[in-house]
Structure 1
Amino acid sequence: MNSVVRATLSDQAYEELRARILSGVLPGGKRLLPEELALSLAISQTPIKEALLRLEADGLVVSAMRKGAVVRQFTFADVEELYEGRMLIELNAVGRLFELQAVRTDLLGELSRCLETHEFYARRGSLDDITTALVHDRKFHSALMAAAGNRLICEWHQRILGQTHTVFVYLAGDYSRSADEHQDILDALKVGSPDQTREALRRHLLHSRDNALENVSRSILSETTES
């Protein structure tokens, strides 16, 4: 019974800490001390440590030698690699969607609902709003991946997606075009054109990558100025 309770607490700690990282409450470089986190979440340190191991596997946390865990800070190379991975996975998924004839009314309706909420928050501009918009941004891309039907690739995609979106919440860049780009993807799906869908998705991912790289650049400049 104790192991079941501990596993449940570990899951809860993982979800809460992941949410804090993705929302920017725990920013890049923040030290994650189990004793402090245990006090914050009112649980013991054991499920905290288990949660930190899972977050490290997700690529959101790194363990520094003798310094404990810290929230990951992303470099230019990290961003380039993450978006190369997204390109390979998501563009391949578009092909599978059409091969499986999965571009159906239910999928288009789900994507439209994600886009409507995403657009509402993306255009408001505050960090809290962008954080909320990113939740629905992830749902949009995740729905495309799920419809392509490969659960293993979906798991890889979720890890990559979580990492790319943390770059935005630390120093938010130009996110206003994201909803328009999602609309372009949705319109191409409605037309039923694999080529147009891939091209709309490719343009979106390239713009998103450039924004992420700009955010990293501003972060480095800010740290240099402060020091």
Structure 2
Amino acid sequence: MSKHLNLKLEDRNTLHLKVCNVLRKAILQGDFEPGERLIQSELAESLDVSRMPIREALRKLESEGLVKLEPHRGAIVKPMNIEDIKEIYQLRANLEKLAVELSVPDLTEGDKHELKTLMEEMENTEDPEVFVEANISFHQLLIKRCTWGRLLSFIETLWNGFPQQTPTLLPGQMKLSNQEHQQIFEAVNAKNESKSATLVSEHIKRTGEALVNSLG
């Protein structure tokens, strides 16, 4: 069990998310071996938190496919498959490209104002937790006006888990994402749905490649 995890307790409302981010990063970086049992009491002691946020974090990690909760054994680390990551990001790049292209023509001025507000929030924070939440909202808003329900359902499934957490995993990701978000916003503001869609697709592909390289 790794003893190098650390966590600053700041906001109890997001404590399980902070715990989840620490554990997710440790799993993806190989601090925990595939098949290793994550013992709640040891994690709670290592992170200096109660067992409640540990339990909540492990349930979220199970939904992401990073751990498996087994009766009488607790949480077991699942093998991390690089091919799974490649598949997720390639699918996201293609499906979100289509959704953005369908959505952008119908985005309202209010939508664009909200996009700009979210973009400024990401630019003005150094807190990865704040960035992640604004980043999720930014990407969701880009496809808000897409009316293809099945397409949106597929995208939502792909969003479950670590794809949205790369700012906590990759050095320099926040700064680079901000630059790419600015380009995306300019294309959206110009009502250029084709360019907007292509930029979003390239943004997702670049992030996926960076994540794979960091884990290789």
Task: Indicate yes or no: 2:143 matched with 1:115.
Answer: no
Match of 2:84 in 1: 78
Alpha-carbon spacing, 1:24–1:57, altered in 2? closer, same or farther (3 Å): closer
Given residue 103 of structure 2, which amino acid in structure 1 is its aligned partner?
L
Equivalent in 33, 45, 48 of residue 39 of structure 2: 33
Q: Is the 8 A contact 1:74 1:216 kept in 2?
A: no
Larger mean Cα displacement after TM superposition, 88-97 or 185-194: 88-97
As a proportion of its length, which structure holds more helix?
1
Q: Secondary structure at the match of 1:69?
A: strand
Larger mean Cα displacement after TM superposition, 78-87 or 129-138: 129-138
Q: Distance between the aligned counterparts of 2:124 and 2:78, measured in 1?
A: 29
Match of 1:5 in 2: none
Task: Indicate yes or no: 2:193 matched with 1:194.
Answer: yes
Alpha-carbon spacing, 1:113–1:42, altered in 2? closer, same or farther (3 Å): same
Q: Distance between the aligned counterparts of 1:65 and 1:209, measured in 2?
A: 34
Alpha-carbon spacing, 1:215–1:70, altered in 2? closer, same or farther (3 Å): farther
Given residue 139 of structure 2, which amino acid in structure 1 is its aligned partner?
H
Match of 2:4 in 1: none
Given residue 159 of structure 2, which amino acid in structure 1 is its aligned partner?
Q
Alpha-carbon spacing, 1:91–1:44, altered in 2? closer, same or farther (3 Å): closer
Larger mean Cα displacement after TM superposition, 21-30 or 205-214: 21-30
Given residue 141 of structure 2, which amino acid in structure 1 is its aligned partner?
A
Task: Indicate yes or no: 2:147 matched with 1:143.
Answer: no
Alpha-carbon spacing, 1:214–1:33, altered in 2? closer, same or farther (3 Å): same
Match of 2:214 in 1: 215
CA RMSD for the aligned pairs?
Answer: 3.7
TM-score between the two structures when normalised by the length of structure 2: 0.69
Match of 2:98 in 1: 92
Query: What percentage of aligned pairs have identical amino acids?
Result: 22
Unaligned runs of 5+ in 2: 1-13
Q: Distance between the aligned counterparts of 1:72 and 1:111, measured in 2?
A: 36
CA deviations 1:83-102 (Å, max 9, x no partner) are 0221133112113214xx43
Q: Is the 8 A contact 1:59 1:72 kept in 2?
A: yes
Deviation at 1:105, TM superposition (A): 0.9
Deviation at 1:82, TM superposition (A): 1.6
Deviation at 1:37, TM superposition (A): 6.7
Alpha-carbon spacing, 1:25–1:58, altered in 2? closer, same or farther (3 Å): closer
Unaligned runs of 5+ in 1: 1-14, 218-227
Deviation at 1:210, TM superposition (A): 2.0
